[in-house]
Structure 1
């Protein structure tokens, strides 16, 4: 399954989509950043710092949404910027691929050439782990909020309708279930891939991972708003 089904339609969308994927991987990202190099100031499409690696790594991304394949001259240009800026490596991301000379020019360098689909595949593991990690944190926070508020506002809880009390109990269990699932895949994403022939039930109705995470994040927001409404609405007025 792919990270997303969205295909960038122009250069701005390609650049912003690359930046968003990197951000969702947990990297520090800047778009259209101006940096100083040994040969002067240069503007970078997407500038990325991976603080999760030891030592941290810096990489520069150039995005090409051309109707034609990218030639080797662009590889040489990016290689020069990477060398003169102190970055660890460079990524050239193209919607419509590269000329054969571009691949030759990238050999034995720290420049990687990736089509949009290849880019998504290369960073899928990192993206998935970080998305599961983020969800785990959110639902831990929500579950604790339910428990804390139920104790803090015990009298208010007793006055809730049976439906609202039941939803509190169900929501707490749902939070525990989401966290358990997240913990399972954070540690070993390959478990997810090994089930692709018989896809996990929680993914069966989705066409891409992004749709699944958007759905679960929506559940989180609805749950959070529910807890605020029944326990703290009068405090927020």
Structure 2
């Protein structure tokens, strides 16, 4: 299954999607962004901060052109990257690069990417972060389904049937949220293929978005109940350990 089926349909769409994928992957991305350089202020398409990585600052330039990017644009972008103190510059081009542009980027801190190769750069971190979000919601839902700790008998007569129906209807999605691994997503394992939600999904992104939506809807219902879990963080370490042990 492909990572995503989404393709930018305009320059702004390319710019916005680049920032969106970087944000979900765990970076701080702003688009557009005005930055300071030694020559004054410059507006860049996407400015990325990565405080916990070796590369702390990344500048992205988005080229939704119908022709390959020439070397002059690479030279100009290299200057901006250097003048603002960024450790890395990335150009994302719709139609690739002229041979001179590829040569101009050699031995520099500028990477030349297409939309597809950019997605490959961020895919692993995107999936890691999205999966962790899914598993965090799953852990919270499991608190409400815990028959030993959750005091469902204290719910009102109106709440209890809604609680039971909600817990029953979410069983399949809780199983996926707890047990699905990155390797299942990347390899299309037999385990994940037995779930209807996965079978109906067009991409890994689509599947995780749909699973997140189902879990969030359920959590919203449960968190509005008058009775709260006695140990709200009980299952968080369980899902964290499972994620670490299986990847």
Q: CA deviation at 1:143?
A: 2.2
Residue matched to 2:93: 94
Deviations 1:6-38 (Å, cap 9, x if unpaired)? 211111100000000000101011111111111
**Aligned residue in 2 for 1:22:** 22
TM-score (norm 2): 0.79
Distance 2:8 2:191 in 1: 27
Q: Deviations over 1:82-141 (max 9, x none)?
A: 111111110000111111111010011111011111111121111111111111112212
Supply the distance in 1 between the matched residues of 2:179 and 2:63 (Cα, whole angstroms).
Answer: 40
1:220 corresponds to 2:215: yes
Could you say which residue in structure 2 is the equivalent of 1:60?
59
- Going from structure 1 to structure 2, the CA distance change for 1:51 and 1:157 (only over 3 Å counts) comes to farther
- Segments of structure 2 that go 5 or more residues without pairing to the other structure are 228-247
Q: Matched residues in 2 for 1:218 and 1:37: separation?
A: 42
2:68 corresponds to: 69
The residue that corresponds to 2:83 in the other structure is 84
Look up the SS of the partner of 1:112 in the other structure.
strand
Quick check: which one's helix share is greater? 1
8 Å CA contact retained: 1:70, 1:102 = yes
Q: Which residue of 2 aligns with 1:42?
A: 42
* Superposition TM-score, scaled by structure 1 size: 0.82
Unaligned segments of structure 1, at least 5 residues: none
Aligned residues: 222
TM-superposed CA distance for 1:192, in Å, is 4.3
Counterpart of 2:5 in structure 1 is: 5
Aligned partners of 1:143 and 1:172 also within 8 Å: no
Deviation (angstroms), 1:165: 2.0
Partner of 2:125: 126
Asked whether the 8 Å contact 2:69–2:93 carries over to 1, the reply is yes
Partner of 1:154: 153
Secondary structure (helix, strand or coil) at the match of 2:220 reads: helix
The 1:47/1:226 distance shift into structure 2, 3 A limit, reads same
C-alpha distance after superposition, 1:26-68 (max 9, x if no partner) = 1011111111111111111000012332x45210000010111
